[in-house]
Amino acid sequence: MTDLAPITALGGSLARVQSFGALAIAENADLALASLALRRGAAQPVPMGLSLPGPGLWHAGNGIAAFWTGPGQWMIEAPGRATEDFAAVVKQAAPECSVTEQTDAFTAFEIASTAGAGPILALMAKLVNIDAAAFGPGSATRTGLEHMSVFVIRRAEDRLAVIGMRSAAGSIWHALETAAARLQGD
């Protein structure tokens, strides 16, 4: 039998990381994702002690994070747990909900700035139709990025995450690196 080796969404054995002046873009291959949806009549759970956020918000705590994806629906994140059956952990914490593994369906790109919020705001202005000034830390939304649908999360003043379909990882990376390179040249 052929020896199989795992690869990242961008096809490498290691996650891709690239810097553009004050901005660094990193493929986050270690992020586990599971969708959680309320069933009819179910009470909103508090999985692993994390209060689930309302529309347009992202919350982190207790080693996990969550962002609202629709009425009664959230995406639960777990840094460093991509190789686990994270959906089973979420299902155990929220047994009355529908839980689906999403780790291999999506890919995440983390963008950090060494120069505060300015480069993050400038990058957002080039990439997405979001009022960057009003999209502060703890904000999350689904939006268009070029021809793709992505989730954008403002993790902190100087950090942004873009989560999109794994099948579009190369296109998302290209859009991010092109915009960041243009900002570096400005």
Span 51-56, average pLDDT: 98
pTM score, whole prediction? 0.95
Question: Are residue 172 and residue 125 in the same domain, yes or no?
Answer: yes
The yes-or-no verdict on residue 1 having pLDDT over 70 is: no
> Is 142 part of any domain?
yes
Question: Are residue 169 and residue 116 in the same domain, yes or no?
Answer: yes
126, burial (CB in 10 Å: exposed 0-12, middle 13-18, buried 19+): middle
Please tell me the predicted confidence (pLDDT) of residue 186: 65
Please tell me the predicted confidence (pLDDT) of residue 5: 84
pLDDT, the chain, mean:
96
Instruction: Provide the domain count of the chain.
Output: 2
The yes-or-no verdict on residue 185 having pLDDT over 80 is: no
Q: Please say which residue of 101, 120, 139 terminates a domain.
A: 101
12, burial (CB in 10 Å: exposed 0-12, middle 13-18, buried 19+): exposed
Q: Mind listing the pLDDT tens digit for each residue in 112-159? A: 999 999 999 999 999 999 999 999 999 999 999 999 999 999 999 999
